[in-house]
Amino acid sequence: MAAEAPRKIILNRISHAYYKYKDMDKAVQWFHDFGFTEEKRVNGDEKIYFRGYGTAPWVVCAVKADRDEFAGVGYVVESEDELRYAAETLPKATKIYELEDAPRQGQVRHLLRPRRQLPLPPRLRPGGDGRAGDPVTAGAHKLPPLVLRRPFEKNRPKNHFQRFQKRPAPVHKLGHWGHCSTNYAKDYEFYTTRFNLIASDLVHDEAGTDITCFLRLDRGKEPVDHHCFFFYQVLLTARLSGPKFHVHHTSYETHDFDTQVLGHDWLREKGYKNCWGVGRHVLGSQIFDYWFDPSGNIMEHYVDGDLVDDTQPPHRSKASPDSLHVWGPDVPGDFLE
């Protein structure tokens, strides 16, 4: 008789990302220019935590290292019991330990599949996951709701002006991340059977084989982002020269379109290299703006993404030049690698 498959590990939300840098001074300047606020330093510049203006205690951790690299993504789980279950059932899992130097410290677990550390923190003690913490509000950043006038909807009253400040686009939260897979089918089976991740969109090739997936958290009737995670099959040309796993990008929500474009101009004037944007995606609907950090990592500002619940079935579409964006610059060749 076949052994019963383990139940799914219930993720609550995506939480934070880790990056390693040789030059921490450049990294710190980048995160400030990208719209983060420094929250805590550990041993000078050995480790620096950055937060957004939401309730999460931190969104990115920069770690001083001998080489530049992406170092993992964290998720909040439902409970410490859920975390213990993950420790007992996931392959190559470490023991639960206390993340002592993080803002509002708490337990954390590392998953080593596939090929990268994926820190998985639990829902921490009250306030520890940020939901009961003090937010750095949008009001504190002077980010009021944008009221737009349309030909037949004069929503903004007379004598009410729109005035904006040139500055970085303040980050609200980590929205999603994604990687290039060397074994799409195996990765898809792992993530969708071991976690409460379900497909919002699947993209297939000419032969009808799925090559890209956008996965969201299954939270029942609770509205969630169209995807918190995506991955895609490595291109044939790359397979011929040797398959390579790599993280594609991490993505961060900001306030609205004006805030996003002001941030775009800020980064451009500071001399950073734009990867792709500004434009509007098809799958997920969000307005995107991708940038290279000083070490070549891709990070995205986005606004106006789709929200869905468990009544929305997965959609399948064929890969095509028009499937990535409906307006904006042409897709750069290196974006698809």
Q: Based on the domain organization, do 35 and 111 belong to the same domain?
A: yes
User: Is the pLDDT at 130 greater than 60, yes or no?
Assistant: no
In a domain, 222, yes or no: yes
| Residue 238, pLDDT score | 45
Q: How much is the average pLDDT of 81-98?
A: 84
Cβ–Cβ < 8 Å for 46, 4? no
In a domain, 89, yes or no: yes
Q: Are residues 191 and 335 in the same domain?
A: yes
Higher-pLDDT residue of 186, 92: 186
Helix (H, G, I), strand (E, B) or coil at 42: strand
78 has pLDDT over 90: no
Alpha-carbon span 200 to 206, nearest angstrom: 20
Average confidence score pLDDT of the chain: 86
- 118 and 193 part of one domain: no
Given a cut of 50, is residue 112 above it in pLDDT? no
Residue 120: band (very low, low, confident or very high) from pLDDT cuts 50, 70, 90: low
pLDDT number for residue 299: 98
Question: Per-residue pLDDT for 115 more than 60?
Answer: no
Q: Which of 150, 136, 143, 70 is nearest to 103 (CA)?
A: 136
The reported pLDDT for the residue numbered 99 is 81
- The β-bridge relationship of strands 11-21 and 37-42 is unpaired
Residues 243 and 110 in one domain: no
User: What is the arithmetic mean of pLDDT over 38-50?
Assistant: 96
Cβ-in-10-Å burial (0-12, 13-18, 19+) of 212 comes to buried
Residue bearing the bigger pLDDT, 73 or 235: 73
- Which residues lie below 8 Å from residue 5, measured CB to CB, with a gap of 6+? 193
Residues 236/243, Cβ–Cβ less than 8 Å: no
Please compute the mean of the pLDDT values over residues 305-310 and round it to a whole number: 97
pLDDT band at 106 (very low <50, low <70, confident <90, very high): low
Same domain, 110 and 220: no
175: nearest Cα among 99, 337, 266, 287: 287
Give domain status of residue 135, yes or no. Answer: no
Provide the token pair at 213.
Answer: 């997936």
Q: Are residues 106 and 178 in the same domain?
A: no
pLDDT above 50 for 113: no
The confidence band for 80, taking pLDDT boundaries of 50, 70 and 90, is: confident
The number of folded domains in the chain is 2
pLDDT at 1: 52
319 with 212: CB under 8 angstroms?
Answer: yes
CATH of the domain at 105: 3.10.180.10
Q: Tell me: do 185 and 77 sit in the same domain.
A: no
In a domain, 162, yes or no: no
Q: Is 226 within 8 Å of 306 (Cβ atoms)? A: yes
Q: Are residues 67 and 186 in the same domain?
A: no
Tens digit of pLDDT for each residue in 226-251?
999 999 997 644 444 455 788 999 99
Assess if residue 149 is contained within a domain. Answer: no
Residues 123 and 233 in one domain: no
- 95: in domain: yes
Q: Which pTM was predicted?
A: 0.90
| Residues 180, 117 share a domain | no
**Tens digits of per-residue pLDDT, 249-307?**
999 999 999 999 999 999 999 999 999 999 999 999 999 999 999 999 999 999 999 99
Last residue of a domain, which of 129, 164, 186? 129
Do 90 and 210 reside in the same domain of the chain? no
217 and 318 fall within a common domain:
yes
Final residue of a structural domain among 72, 107, 129: 129
Q: Give pLDDT, residue 117.
A: 52
Domain boundaries, position 247: 172-337
Structural domain ending residue among the three candidates 99, 129, 159: 129
Q: Percent of the chain beyond pLDDT 90? A: 63
281 in a domain, yes or no? yes
Q: Is the pLDDT of residue 83 over 80?
A: yes
Which of 288-292's residues contact partners 24+ apart within 8 Å by CB, and which partners? 288/251, 288/325, 288/328, 289/260, 289/261, 289/263, 289/264, 290/249, 290/335, 291/34, 291/267
Q: Which amino acid is residue 42, in one-letter code?
A: V
On whether residue 66 sits in a domain, the answer given is yes
